[in-house]
Amino acid sequence: MGRMLSPGVLTLAATPIGNPLDASVRLLRALEQADLIAAEDTRRLHRLAAALEVTLGGKVLSHHEHNEEHRTEQLLTALAEGRRVLIVTDAGMPVVSDPGYRAVRAAAAAGYPVTVIPGPSAVLTALAASGIAPDRFTFEGFPPRRDGKRHAAFEPLRHEPRTMVFFESPRRTAATLAAMAEVFGPERESAVARELTKTYEEVRRGTLAELVAWAEAGEVLGEVVIVVAGAEPVAADPEALLEQVLARAAAGERMKDAAKAVAAGAEGVSARELYDAALARR
């Protein structure tokens, strides 16, 4: 097939999120051809290579949140030397809730090409399996770990009209679902997908109240993705909407952003109208 990686190019490659058979042919070739592989967990990379019966072609470096800044400098040096540099994470796409963002920014700023080998995605897999409207969605990553901060993070999303996708630790899933039920309402349609593409894959669908009961009834195991339906549009009450915009602005949000977010969850009013009214009220 010839070489697929190019010298002096930073390549990001998606790895399987569970089932090794989901590895693409391009990923196999990239692992064989790279001069330098930056891996979130080197042991997991070696296990993946063994499962795929692939011989890693170059030097392997650890590349995680605690050493990302230092490793980025090393990756740029390797690119300057014309080496084939590959970034992989434990599962899924680098950069998405995983290391790689700093390297991409630095490489692009320095003028080095950046390319991506697409592949498995926990976000899209869970969204597709959830049965919840996928036409417009937003990825929210991991919610804060502490209860107060978790609730505060969900509050601006109360009226988000798009489907929302979250990552979560299994040990915090019950608490996160409970916080979602409080903020978004217990009847909001939702789904919990765990162990995607693995032997014990499971997708639980129901209201947030039903999923809270399920999560609290037993131990949640495996890597978890939570999908929550967007808010239904509500009839516009201009005065109430204006109060929401002012409250969000008082909490530190930019007025324009607050007006846009509130208008997104309402019918019959534009973000511009709310913004102008909020400025006048101030």
Residues 6+ apart with CB under 8 A from 258: 244, 245, 248, 249, 278
Q: Which residues pair with 114 in a beta bridge?
A: 10
Model pLDDT for residues 73-117, shown as the tens digit of each residue: 999 999 999 999 999 999 999 999 899 999 999 999 999 999 999
Which CATH entry fits the domain spanning 123-228: 3.40.50.300, 3.40.50.1820, 3.30.950.10, 3.40.50.620? 3.30.950.10
Model pLDDT for residues 120-150, shown as the tens digit of each residue: 999 999 999 999 999 999 999 999 999 889 9
Q: How confident is the model at residue 229 (pLDDT cuts 50, 70, 90)?
A: very high
The number of angstroms, rounded, from the C-alpha of 34 to the middle of its chain's C-alpha atoms is 26
Per-residue confidence (pLDDT) for residue 234, from 0 to 100: 66
pLDDT at 197 over 60: yes
Tell me the C-alpha to C-alpha distance, in Å, between residue 26 and each of 12, 136, 185, 265.
11, 29, 44, 42
Model pLDDT for residues 12-23, shown as the tens digit of each residue: 999 999 999 999
- Looking from the CA of 164 toward its CB, the CA atoms found within 13 Å total 25
Mean pLDDT, residues 28-47 taken together:
96
Per-residue confidence (pLDDT) for residue 1, from 0 to 100: 44
Per-residue confidence (pLDDT) for residue 124, from 0 to 100: 97
Model pLDDT for residues 234-266, shown as the tens digit of each residue: 666 788 889 999 999 999 999 999 999 888 877
Residues 6+ apart with CB under 8 A from 251: none
- DSSP 3-state assignment of 189? strand
Q: Which residues pair with 87 in a beta bridge?
A: 12, 38
Q: How many CB atoms lie within 10 A of CB 185?
A: 14
Cα–Cα nearest to 265, from 236, 240, 226: 236
- State the Cα–Cα distance between residues 255 and 246, nearest whole angstrom: 8
The answer to whether residues 126 and 92 touch, using CB atoms and an 8 Å cutoff, is no
Residue type, 156: P
pLDDT at 57 over 90: no
Six-digit token string for 112 = 């080095």
> Which helix (H) or strand (E) segment is 108 a member of?
helix 101-110
The CATH class given to the 10-120 domain equals alpha beta
